[in-house]
Chains A and B, each alone.
Chain A
Amino acid sequence: MKILVLAEISNGELAEDQTSKTVSAAAALGQVDVLCASNNCSDASTKIAKMEHVENVYVLEDELFAQGLAESYSETLLDTINSYSHVFAPSSSFGKNVLPRIGGMLDVMVISDVSKVISEDTFERPVYAGNAIQTVQSVDKVKLISVRTSNYSAVPSTGSANIKKIDCKGNNPLTTFIENKMQTSDRPELTSAKVVVSGGRGVGSKENFEIIEGLADKLGAAVGASRAAVDSGFAPNDWQVGQTGKVVAPDLYVAVGISGAIQHLAGMKDSKVIVAINKDEEAPIFQVADFGLVDDLFKAVPEIEKKV
């Protein structure tokens, strides 16, 4: 058994939480190597080398990997990847973009969104928006696994792995990067935040979402949104929590004006404590909330913001 983790790095910046939690999932099977491919890896590789359970960090510095384009990885790294029995990546937009393409090249299935590693060939993963959990056994020679990182804790930074440079002579004639438009925010990142405050359709408008943002900022929380709120244009897609958005599991999740559709619950029901505020006492969100308040959010949320 030889285990590789693909580190998630964008333009030299390591997604530390995602990568560390992926190492944590992979470590269930043994020590791991991490592939650190980007245009600038010095900072990222130092951080990865400190992650517990990491044996070797392979550094591949090339402009080709700056933006995580799938073709750059799949076409260039096939030989490297093929020498491992297990390849893990976070099930983020990076991992979901790259890993199945590698699967297509190697003719192996990808095991998406793994929530539990049971053994070297057996894994648990949610299906039907988390309404069922499937145990699957892979017969492929290489196991390609994307990890539902919200199910794992980051590994401690007590390791001291070897950092080794490797060469690459690939290119990507198929896709060209044009630009990134990233949401800049001082708030914590949604998938790793300890507290998340989310708004739903009940919030009513993009302007009203400031109420949600106000409470989030007071609590030092990330802001989330239901698919209904995103669909209605109240919030950017990047905030979406649910089956088709992000999966979060913070210490505290505050759901405001969210009815609690199945697809939303799939993205937040592993939160430690769930608090729901909704004026409809029949809202399904109260079925999963630890604490509920039946009240008008426009009255309750500003008052809560004042008092916390």
Chain B
Amino acid sequence: MKILVPVKRVLDYNVKARVKADGSGIDLANVKMSMNPFDEIALEEAIRLKEKGNAEEIIAVSIGVQQNQETLRTALAMGADRAILVVATDDVHNDIEPLTVANILAAIALKEGPSLVLCGKQAIDNDFNATAQMLSAKLKWSQATFASEIDVREDMVRVTREVDGGLQTIDAKIPAVVSVDLRLNEPRYASLPNIMKAKRKPLEEISPADLGVEITQRLKVIKTKEPDSREAGLILENIDQLVEKIQENVGG
């Protein structure tokens, strides 16, 4: 079977997001960008499924600016077989909404016919946590979100989900869209020989129009501001003072 893995290029998780002075968004000029960490986990899982003999081909897809091909090269170096870049904008500050991303991915899924789409549960920039759910709705496929364990069987995939209060296990009919959570696995680093090999793997470049998808924006961003900041407080001298402060604020 084929597995499709969408990977988003986002501000590196170690870099602090800075709000632009004019309130128009986050400054993404000349900052380190990386693959969304949750997408890395999804890709790692796809590679492990292939290594176990559950999958034959892994296709990585990225949607955004031309530079997303760096992210796709990383995906190819980790172990994806080929990549599709959908150039949807020429401005890195123009975030493509999950609904449009779902439309684009649905069109690709119908063309490529994967049995499984493995997504990160959320992108660490817009924090929507929506693409996988919207995609499965568009395709009318089964949906399993926040996976911490994935077991591919004959015609379904058994997924253990991280839900409030504990874990829920469900069987999702194949084809399925699965979004992955933090504890599913620890992604590998690409080795140097694999990075070299990745340069020769196929990377196809298309536009949303090629897929018949129109880019829409349903949520207009009016303003981006810094959150209210907290003032640093008092450093106490001893445990007794701390005990006093705790007692003052418990059950208050």
A: residues with CB less than 8 A from B are 10, 15, 67, 69-71, 74, 92-94, 96-105, 107-113, 122, 126-140, 173-183, 191, 194-195, 219-220, 227, 230-231, 237-238, 240, 243-244, 246, 251-252, 254, 262-263, 269, 272-275, 277, 281, 286-295, 300, 303-304, 307-308
Contact = CB atoms under 8 A, between A and B. Distances in A.
Contacts of A292: 233-236
B165 A104 contact: no
27 contacts: A93-B163, A94-B163, A97-B146, A100-B128, A100-B133, A108-B99, A109-B219, A110-B130, A131-B227, A132-B226, A133-B227, A135-B224, A139-B220, A173-B173, A175-B171, A182-B165, A191-B164, A194-B250, A237-B148, A251-B250, A251-B252, A273-B249, A281-B235, A293-B242, A304-B239, A304-B242, A307-B239
Nearest to B181: A237
Nearest to A285: B232
Interface stretch (B77-85, B107-115, B137-145): B137-145
> Considering the complex of A and B, which 10 residue pairs feature the smallest CB-CB distances, nearest first?
A104-B137, A104-B134, A100-B133, A100-B130, A182-B166, A174-B142, A290-B233, A128-B17, A109-B218, A178-B169
A226 B89 CA distance: 36
Contacts of A293: 235-236, 238-239, 241-242
Contacts of B19: 131-132
Could you say which of A246, A273, A291 has the most chain B C-beta atoms within 10 Å of its C-beta? A291
B222 A244 contact: no
Nearest to A245: B182
A304 B246 contact: yes
Interface residues of B, number: 79
Nearest to A273: B249
A219 B127 contact: no
B53 interface: no
Nearest to A215: B246
B126 interface: yes
A96 B130 CA distance: 7
Contacts of A295: 239
A244 B37 CA distance: 11
Could you say which of B122, B167, B240 has the most chain A C-beta atoms within 10 Å of its C-beta? B167
Contacts of B215: none
Contacts of A137: 219-220, 222
B219 A138 contact: yes
A133 B222 CA distance: 11
Contacts of B171: 175-176, 178
Main secondary structure of the interface of A (DSSP, over half): mixed
Given A230-B182, A237-B162, A281-B235, A112 B219 contact: no
A155 B172 CA distance: 37
B141 A174 contact: yes
Contact of A136 (B148, B167, B219): B219
Contacts of A175: 142-144, 170-173
B127 A243 contact: yes
A70 B245 contact: no
B129 interface: yes
A128 B173 CA distance: 34
Contacts of B163: 93-94, 180
B230 A304 contact: no
B243 interface: yes
Contacts of A99: 133
Contacts of A122: 222
Given A109-B218, A178-B169, A132 B249 contact: no
Given A133-B224, A136-B219, A293-B239, A103 B234 contact: no
A304 B243 contact: yes
Contacts of B181: 237, 244
B102 A104 contact: yes
